[in-house]
Amino acid sequence: MDKNIKKQSVYISEEENTLRWEEVQNSFKKTFGNEIYSSWLQKITLIKEFNDYLILAVPTRFFRDWIVSRYLDKILEQVKSFKLSLNRIEFKIVEENKQNQDILKINELSRITEIKDSILNYNRLNPNLNFDNFIQGKSNDIALSYSKKVCEQTSRYNPLYICGGVGLGKTHLLNAIGLEMQNENNVMFISAERFMYHFIKSIKKNDMVNFKDFFRKSSIFIIDDIQFISGKESLQEEFFHTFNSLMDKGSQIIISSDRSPSKLERVQDRLKSRLSGGLVVDIDAPDLELKIKIIKKKIEEIQNQFKESISLNEEVINFIATESKTNIRELIGVLNRVIAFSRVHNKHLNISDCKNILKDVFNQSKVITVDKIQNVVSNFFNIALSEMLSQRRSRPLARPRQIAMYLAKKMTTRSLPEIGRRFANRDHTTVIHAVKTISRLSEQDDEMKKNINQIKSLLLEQ
């Protein structure tokens, strides 16, 4: 058995290497253990295999969300060990007793309509990420309202550039815009990474004409995670031209990124200036109120879907909202976990149950080191680490340096003299001064407050 797996993992010939699902399932059993396997993974079936992604069937939406939030990375790792070219998994919800029928249907259908591995396969909008279920809060208010405005009045805010940290709802908003517009427009929705994939493939196949045509004919062009183009010169070149030609013909462009255009690193200036030429809006970390609203909405959705009541009291909801600090994706993952637990054990949960269930999530405190802080801060401000640590006192270097010292004090257990030493042997009084200055500024100055929050979430993500 082991021998087989090894053989397959180096065997990457595209045509012949089809997955044997029973073998994959066996490997799931080994990796995840019997309990997880039999309650979750065993129920997953293979619907269709493409060269670089799989479509798998799961019985319910809840099931899918649960799998995605907890096991997706590992599942992908496993299937990759059978077929290296796989890099993505899609789930389709197929009620259990219909699974076999559906697989048949899909296979038949796809024999006729399959546009194998083509761009169209990726231009899919997710019907579950729409405006109706996007909850408004202080942190996303502006981004949401302009996303809606763009749908009513195209080309007025062009491009619309939405930025914000991981898991705060950018893809959701972009997808919602796409759904809203798709009936009356030619909508293209693609991640920058996919855009590159097609770009490279077209170059290899000597098929750039088709590539250009394809992307330039859309009237609504939505591109997710544009920060991905960082450092990729020829991709930027191509994107720049795509962008210009779309703008010329009056197409609406919507872009998302984890940072503002000016903070994009290793991206041509002319492109940055194009990106910021329309309207830039950002999404901040959610406040408690929004987190609570999202939890309640999710509970409602699950209740409607399963026609069963889920009883989480206010106290528990508050607990989850307060403890989950990183982002909305994590918040939903945590909530799913609590709900699954209460379902399996069929009981009303109190706070101490929750604490228990979520022990490993919340206690998994990330190890944050002074090194890491220095790296993230210098990256964030786009300055060289050596300069940040140098003795130069110009403001563009001194502020980031002070911020890094401040965060080192707040987020690690290092003492002031230790921190001083790590900053090119500075005195601890310099560190005290930095901590005081930044504490004061982060109260008075919105920009500073925002920067600090963004850096903190970057640190917590890694």
User: In the range 322-351, which residues lie near ligand ADP by CB under 6 A?
Assistant: 328-329, 332
395 within 8 A of 388, measured Cβ to Cβ? no
- Tokens 């200055």 sit on residue: 437
Q: Among Mg ion, ligand ADP, none, what does residue 129 contact (CB within 5–8 Å per kind)?
A: ligand ADP
Least spacing, CB of residue 190 vs Mg ion, in Å: 12
**Residues 450, 461: Cα–Cα separation, whole Å:** 16
Is residue 457 within the footprint of Mg ion (CB under 5 A)? no
Can you tell me whether residue 154 is helix, strand or coil? coil
Least spacing, CB of residue 16 vs ligand ADP, in Å: 35
Residues 6+ apart with CB under 8 A from 292: 317, 318, 321
User: In the range 131-150, which residues lie near ligand ADP by CB under 6 A?
Assistant: 133-135, 140
Least spacing, CB of residue 142 vs ligand ADP, in Å: 13
The letter for the amino acid at 288 is L
Of the two residues 4 and 322, which places its CB atom closer to ligand ADP in the complex?
Answer: 322
Is residue 168 within the footprint of ligand ADP (CB under 6 A)? yes
Least spacing, CB of residue 166 vs ligand ADP, in Å: 5
Q: Please pick, from the candidates 45, 140, 154, 171, the single residue that binds Mg ion as defined by CB under 5 A.
A: 171
Is residue 299 within the footprint of ligand ADP (CB under 6 A)? no
Tokens of 438: 């930044």
Is residue 170 within the footprint of ligand ADP (CB under 6 A)? yes
Size of the site for Mg ion (CB under 5 A): 1
Q: Among ligand ADP, Mg ion, none, what does residue 140 contact (CB within 5–8 Å per kind)?
A: ligand ADP
Least spacing, CB of residue 254 vs ligand ADP, in Å: 13
- Measuring CA to CA, how many Å separate 53 from each of 25, 76, 121, 122, 166? 17, 10, 10, 11, 23
Do strands 53-58 and 45-49 pair parallel, antiparallel, or not at all (unpaired)?
Answer: antiparallel
Select from 451, 401, 395, 459 the least CA-distant residue to 262: 451
Of the two residues 19 and 166, which places its CB atom closer to ligand ADP in the complex?
Answer: 166
Least spacing, CB of residue 275 vs ligand ADP, in Å: 17
The letter for the amino acid at 62 is F
155 within 8 A of 249, measured Cβ to Cβ? no
57 DSSP β-pair partners? 45, 92
Least spacing, CB of residue 288 vs ligand ADP, in Å: 14
**Residues 452, 380: Cα–Cα separation, whole Å:** 10
Residue nearest to Mg ion (CB): 171
274 within 8 A of 240, measured Cβ to Cβ? yes
Is residue 191 within the footprint of Mg ion (CB under 5 A)? no
Residues engaged in binding Mg ion (CB under 5 A)? 171
Contacts with ligand ADP, residue ranges (CB under 6 A):
129, 133-135, 140, 164, 166-172, 294, 328-329, 332
